[in-house]
Amino acid sequence: MKPADSRTLGALSAIGSALGFATLALWGKFAPLVGLNVQTFLAWRFALTALALLPFVTKGLPATERWRQFAFGGAYIVQTLIYFTALGQTSASVASLLLYLAPAFVVLYEWLLGTRPSAAQLMGLALASFGLVVIVGLPSPSDGTLLGFGLAALSGACYGGFLVASGRLFPHANSLSLTAHASLGSASGLIVLGLATQSLTIPSSLEAWGVVLGAVVFSTVLAIPLMFRATQVLGAITASLLLTLEPLFVVGLALVFLGEELSVSKVVGGALILAGALLAQHKVKQ
């Protein structure tokens, strides 16, 4: 495959991943309405993903590599739990805004590791970040506590580290295999934590199972392998900038499925994010 074609597929993978992750906002809204707490929702999400994918990806994979991928899932639940803890201390919009400090952290981490971003990528980061602020708004005291702001920013730092690590630790791993084993690692950690805190339950209705399965199919089986693939092909900086399309997709999905209004700020912010994502296609200077 030509490099240009490979980058196009990488960009499409990142966009598909952003769309898949955007649906998690819907499932997260529906979860408490059908009796699912955060611990149960996340544990079943990752457990069913592992159950669905593992039978197809274990053949020929060395045991040491399986354990590496399994352990990587533990790192992911740290970020996830920090983010959901932040949601309890601050508004969802501010938590989302601070989570998407991730591209800035990716640029910082990669720069420290020797990969210098291009001027166009830095401009793309600035545009995408400003677009997020336009859509969500700047935090105010009514949006939550300093602890909540700090935890949300920390979740962005962890997410950025996760993206960088996935590209550097598993540059040639099969994305479905990495998703399956990391999901198993995440599910294992969440189940142990859920049992220890007595917060883990079994979904008790068809509606609850529907929400879990929706998160499994769209937000995990679709979104995570595409994220890994985009990071492998494009590098963490470009992939992370394209993933900032997620809030834009969240706005669209909320408009269609939750009846939320489309404001001028969302249109302007969305245009800025799209412009930043386009600039992100410029290659990184070494």
- The residue assigned the tokens 């420290």 is 112
**pLDDT tens for each residue of 228-238:** 999 999 888 88
Q: Which residues pair with 90 in a beta bridge?
A: 144
Q: Which residues contact 182 (CB under 8 A, 6 or more apart)?
A: 69, 70, 72, 73, 76, 224
Structural domains counted in the chain = 1
Nearest residue to 23 via CA among 223, 164, 185: 223
151 domain-assigned: yes
Q: Which two tokens stand for residue 21?
A: 């992750």
pLDDT band with cut points at 50, 70 and 90 for residue 92: low
Cα–Cα dist 204/225, whole Å: 29
DSSP class of 90: B
270 domain-assigned: yes
pLDDT band with cut points at 50, 70 and 90 for residue 164: very high
Instruction: Please check the confidence at residue 58 and state whether its pLDDT lies above 90.
Output: no
SS (H, E, C) 215-279: HHHHHHHHHHHHHHHHHHHHCHHHHHHHCCHHHHHHHHHHHHHCCCCCCHHHHHHHHHHHHHHHH
pTM: 0.81
185 domain-assigned: yes
The domain in which residue 234 lies consists of 3-279
111 domain-assigned: yes
Q: Which residues pair with 144 in a beta bridge?
A: 90
286 domain-assigned: no
Q: What is the pLDDT of residue 133?
A: 76
**pLDDT tens for each residue of 227-271:** 999 999 988 888 888 888 887 787 777 777 767 666 777 677 767
285 domain-assigned: no
